[in-house]
A and B are shown apart, each in its own frame.
Chain A
Amino acid sequence: MKKKIMMVDDDYDLLQIYIPVLEKAGFEVATANSAAEGLELFKTFLPDLVLVDMAMEHFDSGFVLCHRIKSLPEGAQTPVVILTAASHETGIRFSTQTAEERKWIQADEYLDKPVPARELLAFITERFFSTPDQAHH
Chain B
Amino acid sequence: MKIERANILVVDDEFGMREGIRRLFEAQGHRVETAETGRLGIDKGVAEEFDIYFIDLRIGDIDGVEVLGAIKGKYPEAICVICTAYASIETAVETTRLGAYHYIAKPFAPEEIQLVFDRALERRWYILEARQLRLEQERRLLEIAQEKSRIRTIINSIADGIVVLNQDAEVVLFNPQYPRLLELKNELVIGRSIREVLPEHLQEMVTDIFNQKDNLQGIQQEFVIRPPAKLVVMANTTPIRDDQNRVLGFVSVLRDISELKQLELLKSQFVNMAAHELKAPLTAIQGYLEMVVDKSLGDEPVVYDGYLRRSLERSKTLITLINDLLNISRIQAGKVRREIERLDLSAQVKSVVDFFANEIEKSGLSAKLELCEGLMIDADREEMQRVLTNLISNAIKYNRPQGLVLVKTSREKGYARLVVQDTGIGMKPEEKERLFEEFFRAKNPHTRTITGTGLGLTLVKKIVDSYAGRIEAESVYEQGTTFTVLIPLAER
Contacts of B276 in A (CB 8 A): 85, 89
Q: Which residue of A lies closest to B445 (CB)?
A: A33
Q: Cβ of B280 and Cβ of A11 under 8 Å apart?
A: yes
Residues of B contacting A20 in the complex (Cβ-Cβ under 8 angstroms)? 291, 296-297
Contact B288 A21 (CB under 8 A): no
Give bound CA distance, A113 to B279, whole Å: 10
| Contact A13 to B296, CB < 8 A, known contacts A33-B448, A85-B279 | no
**B291: contacting residue among A33, A57, A117, CB under 8 A:** A117
Total number of A residues with any Cβ neighbor in B under 8 Å: 23
**Binary CB contact string for chain B from 289 to 308 against chain A (1 if under 8 A, 0 otherwise):** 01100101100000000010
Per-residue B-contact encoding for A1-12, CB less than 8 Å = 1, 0 else: 000000000111
User: Would you call B123 an interface residue if the criterion is a C-beta within 8 Å of the partner chain's C-beta atoms?
Assistant: no
- A1-56 with Cβ < 8 A to chain B: 10-14, 16-18, 20-21, 24, 33-34, 37, 56
Contacts of A13 in B (CB 8 A): 284, 287-288, 310, 314
Identify which of residues 297-339 in chain B touch chain A, using a CB-to-CB cut-off of 8 Å.
297, 307, 310, 314
Q: What separation, in Å, do the CA atoms of A24 and B286 have in the docked complex? A: 20
Task: Given A13-B314, A57-B443, A85-B279, verify A118-B296 contact (CB < 8 Å).
Answer: yes
**Closest residue to B276 on the A side, CB-wise?**
A89
Q: Is B217 interfacial (CB 8 A cutoff)?
A: no
Cβ-defined contact, B275 with A116, below 8 A:
no
Residue contact A21 to B280, C-beta cutoff 8 Å: no
> In the bound complex, what is the Cα–Cα distance between A106 and B434 (angstroms)?
32
Q: A10-B443, A89-B276 are in contact. Are A113 and B283 (CB under 8 A)?
A: yes
Cβ of B358 under 8 Å from chain A: no
Q: Is the CB of B297 within 8 A of A89?
A: no
CA distance A57 to B287 in the complex (A): 22
Cβ contacts under 8 Å, A57 to chain B: 443
A53 to chain B, nearest CB (A): 11
> A114 an interface residue at 8 Å Cβ cutoff?
yes
Do A24 and B296 touch (CB < 8 A)? yes
The interface centre, meaning the residue of B276, B296, B297 with most chain A CB atoms within 10 A of its CB, is B296
How far in angstroms is the closest Cβ of chain A from B72? 92
Question: In this complex, what residue of A is CB-closest to B314?
Answer: A13
Q: How far is the CA of A85 from the CA of B310 in the complex (A)?
A: 22
B283's partner among A16, A37, A114 (CB-CB below 8 A) is: A114
Known A-B contacts A85-B279, A89-B275; A16 and B307 likewise in contact (beta carbons under 8 Å): yes
Q: Which of A10, A34, A37, A116 is within 8 Å of B287, CB to CB? A: A116
**A34 CA / B284 CA spacing, docked (Å):** 18
Please, what's the 1-or-0 string for B406-419, where 1 marks a CB less than 8 Å from any CB in chain A? 00000000000000
List which A43-88 residues lie within 8 A (CB) of chain B.
56-57, 85
Is A114's CB under 8 angstroms from B287's CB?
yes
11 additional contacts (CB under 8 A) given A24-B297, A89-B275: A12-B448, A13-B314, A14-B284, A16-B288, A17-B288, A37-B445, A85-B279, A114-B286, A116-B290, A117-B296, A118-B296
- List residues of chain A with CB under 8 Å of any chain B CB: 10-14, 16-18, 20-21, 24, 33-34, 37, 56-57, 85, 89, 113-114, 116-118
Binding site for A on B (CB under 8 A): 272, 275-276, 279-280, 283-284, 286-288, 290-291, 294, 296-297, 307, 310, 314, 443, 445, 448-449
A–B complex contacts, Cβ < 8 Å, 23 sampled: A10-B448, A11-B283, A11-B284, A12-B448, A13-B284, A13-B287, A13-B288, A14-B283, A14-B284, A17-B287, A17-B291, A21-B291, A24-B297, A33-B445, A33-B448, A37-B445, A57-B443, A89-B275, A114-B283, A116-B286, A116-B287, A117-B296, A118-B290
